[in-house]
Amino acid sequence: MYLGTVAASILGYLIGSVSFSIIIVYLKTRNDIREHGSKNAGATNVSRVLGKKWGLAIVGLDMLKVLLTAVIAMAINTIPSPLVDQTNFIIPAFFALVGHCYPIYYKFKGGKAVSCILAIALLTNIMLFVIFMVVFLLVSMTTRRISPASIVSAVAVSAICFVPQIYGIDSYILDGSVAFGQAYDHGYYWLNFSNAAHVWNAATPANKNGPFYDSMLTYQIVVVLSSILLIWKHRANIVRIFKGTEPIFFEFNKEKQAEKKKARLEQLEKINQKKKVAE
């Protein structure tokens, strides 16, 4: 009965291993993003090389990998077979995050999970997504750096995900079906992506015993593990933060903004020159 979760997790890892940072930067510059800037295959580094608009595009594409995996897992769960009638979608989504960090297609050198954990938060609970975004914006605008904002936001959602009220229930309930029933009765089932999915899945004839309700604990474990992986991937940033050498990402001084833009354009010009020589 767990075959669906295993199959979706494998597929999720393969989907997560697709690095849009590497692909887009290569298509535009014929260079490996992992050889420039912070040498990380993530949205922040893409912003340094191609600009913030491309960085935001990468955030959306990386989130899409996790969300797509969850939708595929949900679709598998609708197959009328006892082999897949308890397919979980948050576990495969986590493996998409793992694939993003350690992509099999790129020698296991990937991103740092920020965009993917944002998608995990959205899948787990809309409130977690909102909290992550608010904390991220506050810390990033205060420190002008992305890494501390990412770390603090991940720690925040890891702690808050254990508060039952954000799921629309009164107390901590391990039984998924009981928790869903209470959230549904309170009219807050839409806060939890899985609960909303259960309402949709209940309308399908896939599972004769009714939709599958996984424990709230499963989602919380995934959020915590995702946060731990994010912090691990930021260990070099943490060292630089304590040394005071972590680079500023948001520059509010117009003169310095112009200098950074000029430096980025010069870097792109050098990359294009290398590209022409290689051709």
Residues 6+ apart with CB under 8 A from 139: 148, 149, 152, 153
pLDDT for residue 116? 95
pLDDT for residue 268? 63
The alpha helices in the chain, defined as continuous H runs, are: 3-16, 20-29, 43-50, 52-77, 90-101, 114-124, 126-143, 146-160, 176-186, 193-201, 216-233, 235-243, 254-278
Per-residue pLDDT 10s for the chain (279 aa) are 589 899 999 999 999 999 999 999 888 888 788 877 777 888 888 888 888 889 899 999 999 999 999 999 988 887 888 888 788 889 999 999 999 999 999 989 899 999 999 999 999 989 999 999 999 999 999 998 999 999 999 999 999 999 988 888 888 887 777 877 787 777 776 677 665 565 555 555 545 555 566 788 999 999 999 999 999 999 999 999 999 888 888 766 555 555 665 665 566 666 666 656 555
Per the structure block, which two tokens stand in for 67? 């969300």
pLDDT for residue 271? 61
Task: Give how many domains the chain has, as a whole number.
Answer: 1
pLDDT for residue 260? 60
pLDDT for residue 102? 96
What is the number of H-type helices and E-type strands within the chain?
13, 0
Contact, 34 vs 109, CB < 8 A?
yes
CA gap 232, 219 in Å, rounded: 20
Range of the domain at 225: 3-278
Q: pTM of the predicted model, to two decimals?
A: 0.85
